[in-house]
Chain A
Amino acid sequence: MARSTLASLLARSRLLVVLALAPALHAEGTVRIATRDAAGAPVADAVVWLTRLDAPATLPAPPAEPVVIEQKGEEYSPYVTAITVGTLVSFPNRDRIQHHVYSLSKPKRFEIPLHGGEDRPPVLFDQPGVVALGCNIHDWMSAYVVVIATPHFAKTPATGQVTLAGLPPGRYRLEVWHPRLKGNADREITVTPADLATQTVDITLKPDRRIIRAPDADGAGYK
């Protein structure tokens, strides 16, 4: 009798332990990522993403509405856009002048000649990778679309910091991309429910060599 009572108590306590641990086992982790350059300054427009190493990534359904990259004031806006594979992107021309959107990047080659104020059907980005955009009329116009095959990503604001939440515990590859990134800043991290430590990523940036937009007076010959 005494033994059966003890056994019953043990069984109940095990159940309580399991029940107590259950939220922790299914809890989602959060990782805060801070990017900084060689001078220690925060890096804006960096795209960071985490790829699960223990299990295949499950991508959420792409946004119902296309992501928008405007052509306005003879610039692309935003300069860097991060999306998941399968997302549609539209390129409305808000200027009155003509633009000619193009990409020569392997993940998505396309071109859209656009007249002022004209809209064209959105473009499907169906392969992961970095897609560089340009305008065939205005050489200084440039932008990037970073197409990612994981739902865990973000683009850094001016603070250089982002927080990725809702991460199933496990091992991940942390990757960072920036238009001027020199080398790579990949690393492997482990996410646990209790881990709220900040991952600081030091990246080296190449000099900014974007084409100058301001007008350049042609050199004059002898008259």
Chain B
Amino acid sequence: MNRARPRPFAPARPALAALAVALAFLAAPPLRADLRWTAATRAGWAENISRTSAGANAKDSATLETSLDAAYPRAFARDWLLTGGVGAESFIVRDFSLNNTLALGPHVALRRKFGLGAMAPELTGSLGVQRLDARLRGATGWTSTAGLAYSQRFSTAFRATAGVERHRQDGSVATFDVRNRSVFARLAWTITPRFLLTAGYARLSGQLVAHASGPVFARARAGAFGPLVAETYKARPWLVTDSYGPGWVSYRNDAVAGTTTLALTAALFANTSADLRLSSSRVENTARVVYKSDTLSFGLIHRF
């Protein structure tokens, strides 16, 4: 059965319960005073958000991301900083609301600094688990991300970061059971005390969920785009989700995605900044189908 009915957008009870427990824990004295709250919002315009190589199927939309995070940092020993917290993130796709999601969950990070001072290199290991609530029934489930990042300032003006991440999503159907890994590198340049320019590249390898209209997906499976595409798409789990229109299909794919990001951040106040970010991705799946997706977004972030 590859037909899924969309359902109303309502956070899963387990996710809300987990968030409530985590917040109650963090809000209890003496942790409350040391909590670091961060709120962020990002409005963007995403081209080819539907992730398709067929030009007629490429859908664009405005998006809105909002997040609230409470973290509790605690330094112990000389060079170790442990940060635990809980966060909530919502993602809204204005024109295709079936793709809206809400994610809630705890995260923990352990930072080891090799020496004293801002110039000392850092190694940070992180782990986050989230309950992902999606309007696409099959997508609702759990996600987890484990990462390791090495960071080094070369001066007060330049900071480089490189790392790896493993991501796992378990939906309620195989289409949304996703495993992938990424390597990334990022260079940040403090142009003035008010402006920061960041350039980054991330390369993801593994499984992704992409979408296609019903007719295009049927033609692909029938061999209209060649035998390799047909074999590949027949072998992948898929589901009619109506994600970007009636009859649209969501399918899991193996791919490599390269994403280049350029961001200009302006410090508005001591704890508030705004940024303009351009992100460009090129994805090639194992059937050698290539699609591109660009996003321009404006973000605001405030640390309380």
Contact = CB atoms under 8 A, between A and B. Distances in A.
Interface string A94-106: 0011101010100
B271 A213 contact: yes
B192 A219 contact: no
B196 A216 contact: yes
B139 interface: no
B75 A98 contact: yes
Interface stretch (A23-31, A118-126, A203-211): A203-211
A137 interface: yes
A102 B33 CA distance: 24
Contacts of B285: none
A211 B118 contact: yes
B77 to A, nearest CB: 9
Interface in B210-269: 257, 259, 261, 263, 265, 267-269
Contact of B117 (A102, A212, A215, A223): A102
Contact of B40 (A136, A214, A217): A217
Contact of B277 (A134, A137, A214, A219): A219
The binding surface of chain B is classed by DSSP as strand
Given A111-B116, A214-B268, A137 B193 contact: no
A195 interface: no
B143 to A, nearest CB: 10
B299 A217 contact: yes
A219 B186 contact: yes
Contact of B200 (A102, A213, A219): A219
B184 A221 contact: yes
A113 B269 CA distance: 27
Given A104-B117, A208-B192, A222-B202, A213 B267 contact: yes
Nearest to B145: A223
Interface string B26-39: 00000001101010
B117 A213 contact: no
B137 to A, nearest CB: 19
B90 interface: no
A96 B73 CA distance: 12
B190 A212 contact: yes
A213 B38 CA distance: 14
Given A116-B33, A222-B202, A213 B257 contact: no
Interface in B127-170: 153, 155-157, 165, 167
Q: Which residue of A73, A97, A223 has the most chain B CB atoms within 10 A of its CB atom?
A: A223
B272 interface: yes
Contacts of A137: 73, 75, 81
Size class of the contact patch on chain B: 35 or more
A220 interface: yes
Interface in B85-135: 113, 116-118, 120
A188 interface: no
B118 A134 contact: yes
Given A137-B75, A210-B156, A211-B118, A216 B204 contact: no
B183 to A, nearest CB: 9
B81 A215 contact: no
Contacts of A136: 75, 79, 113, 116-117, 120
Interface string B271-299: 11101010101010000000000000001
B19 interface: no
Contacts of A208: 192-193
A212 B269 CA distance: 10
A59 to B, nearest CB: 30
B196 A212 contact: yes
Contacts of A100: 75
Interface string B20-63: 00000000000001101010101000000000000000000000
A211 B156 contact: yes
A223 B40 CA distance: 18
Nearest to B268: A214
Contacts of B120: 136
Nearest to B260: A219
Contacts of A220: 259, 261, 279
B156 A98 contact: no
Nearest to B116: A102
13 contacts: A98-B34, A134-B116, A134-B118, A136-B120, A209-B155, A213-B267, A213-B270, A214-B268, A217-B265, A218-B186, A221-B184, A221-B202, A221-B257
Interface of B: 33-34, 36, 38, 40, 42, 73-75, 78-79, 81, 113, 116-118, 120, 153, 155-157, 165, 167, 182, 184, 186, 188, 190, 192-194, 196, 198, 200, 202, 204, 208, 257, 259, 261, 263, 265, 267-273, 275, 277, 279, 281, 283, 299, 301-303
Given A134-B116, A212-B194, A213-B271, 5 more contacts: A209-B193, A212-B273, A217-B301, A219-B184, A220-B279
